[in-house]
Chain A
């Protein structure tokens, strides 16, 4: 397992040597959404607290580092951590409200969506964020400003983000926090009876998750160079974040990555071939169909399913 992981990483590191620039951008897409899915996975998967408003953290991280870079001149290399910290504060507020008042299931989902929507509307009406027109970053190509002429830089940045978030998830999984989050996900009251401070550990998961997601916002801002409240805070982005770990397997280390390798190319293909001529948004139909298939046939997700296939074969 360890060797397979190492081999996989080495292949991904070497891959840009043979990739066309189009395929390079597809991989950037895959890695970035795997990273976002993995960050979400810590609270949504391991802790089982279904946040459907993670776009808010991407948006906050993106706007904070973009504005700091453009108005204050702070390099996004530092701005990304400021963005992450601000996102973590929002995550803590949402988590505090949701977990202190015992909102579970759909009520927590609604709370997270509501916060993301409030952010979207607020940012769309503030002057400093450029309002509904959006916020634009002028292209300089200067690496100090997180801008690169060569797409391979974006490839390695997103690969690093993905591996970093996976490393964090791995640490969570191995420590007491991981065992406690699993117990909370399974039966919160029973976990409490065994000495688990559910509030504290759920909040911890939320803060880690929102911080990582907020850090990712910087990449989003300086890769696209334009931020619109409707796209960066919108529900479709939140769905994009959630759906990969769900398809790949929530609460597993490789689920979000596998999910992104399945879904991101699919989204890209349907955007590419169906995106023109009035077919915009067709990838959402593909998502819907795939999600139904996953829920019907492999509700635990693709990764646990493949794992059981492999172990079943080696046992038999």
Chain B
């Protein structure tokens, strides 16, 4: 049990944009079936980490392995084919295509025949609760629905690891609650999830572990409750140690 190969193994990952060291010597692992959150203040480098993992940025240094296989230097589509799917923080639906056609694009990654891909896309839309909007153009959806669509498209590629970039941002309390349930259900089907999230209530209730980064470096890692009380984390968020409390874990 002790030496099981991690699903994702990140070692010494670094990325610099001009004068900005966006990610610095970042290391972490994800075990199969976990939900882990990546948190940190704005500009901490979280989205850059997603960009590096999914092949949109090429790291300056370090190693990324998915089930032991290196992802460094692979194109995003090849990484998706290996089972790592991501959503975008700023949702990017194909606005003129129907909701179904949007999800079908993801499904085609696993099933090249269109009728079968469409059937799979329908099933995914049922799962995320967008089935009634299937025929509508994606551009006509509300923000909450677009976030679901973003999730559905990634899910349709049948990933083993799903990277969710702020899928709750901008949602009201009820919508957030529903998407938390959805993420839990997706995880229940055996998909490992790495979340970037600012909604602390969701982070605390969903995650098995939390990784906190600031200025591109890991500053804390552990159980949600431990991390929330870590003085370095509090300092990163509030700049004033000892004064306040991050996001308040449900007591």
Contacts and interface: CB of A to CB of B under 8 A. Distances in A.
B178 interface: no
Given A175-B114, A179-B101, A194 B95 contact: no
B56 A190 contact: no
Interface string A159-196: 00000000000000011100110110011011111111
Contact of A191 (B81, B105, B113, B114): B105
Interface string B13-53: 00000000000000000000000000000000000000000
Contact of A194 (B56, B112, B154): B154
Interface in B78-123: 78, 80-81, 85-86, 88, 92-97, 101, 104-106, 108-109, 112-114, 117
Contact of B114 (A176, A186, A189, A194): A176
Contact of B108 (A174, A179, A189, A193): A179
B76 interface: yes
A182 B97 contact: yes
B218 interface: no
Nearest to B76: A192
A194 B105 contact: yes
A194 B97 contact: no
Nearest to A183: B105
B109 A194 contact: yes
A194 B56 CA distance: 12
A121 to B, nearest CB: 36
Contacts of B94: 182-183, 186-187, 190-191
A308 interface: no
B106 A192 contact: no
Nearest to B158: A195
Interface residues of A, number: 19
A233 B93 CA distance: 39
A194 B85 contact: yes
A140 interface: no
Nearest to A195: B109
Contact of A187 (B92, B104, B117): B92
Nearest to A191: B105
A174 B80 contact: no
- Residue in A182, A186, A195, A196 whose Cβ sees the most chain B Cβ within 10 Å: A195
A131 B200 CA distance: 73
B114 A174 contact: yes
A197 interface: yes
A98 B34 CA distance: 42
A308 B112 CA distance: 31
A164 to B, nearest CB: 22
B75 A195 contact: no
A282 to B, nearest CB: 36
A69 to B, nearest CB: 41
Nearest to A198: B77
B153 interface: yes
Contacts of B96: 186
Chain A CB within 10 Å, residue with most, of B75, B105, B157: B105
A216 B154 CA distance: 41
Given A194-B105, A195-B109, A186 B95 contact: yes
A195 B55 CA distance: 11
A163 B40 CA distance: 58
Interface in B144-170: 153-154, 156-157
Nearest to B54: A193
A197 B86 CA distance: 16
Given A182-B94, A194-B105, A197-B77, 20 more contacts: A174-B114, A176-B113, A176-B114, A176-B117, A179-B117, A180-B105, A182-B97, A186-B96, A187-B92, A190-B92, A191-B94, A192-B56, A192-B77, A193-B54, A193-B85, A194-B80, A194-B85, A194-B156, A196-B77, A198-B77
Interface of B: 54, 56, 75-78, 80-81, 85-86, 88, 92-97, 101, 104-106, 108-109, 112-114, 117, 153-154, 156-157
24 contacts: A176-B108, A176-B113, A179-B108, A182-B101, A183-B94, A183-B105, A186-B94, A186-B95, A186-B97, A187-B93, A187-B94, A189-B56, A189-B76, A190-B93, A192-B80, A193-B54, A193-B56, A193-B76, A195-B77, A195-B108, A195-B109, A196-B77, A196-B109, A197-B75
| 5 cross-chain pairs, A with B, having the tightest CB-CB distances, nearest first | A195-B109, A186-B94, A195-B80, A190-B92, A192-B76
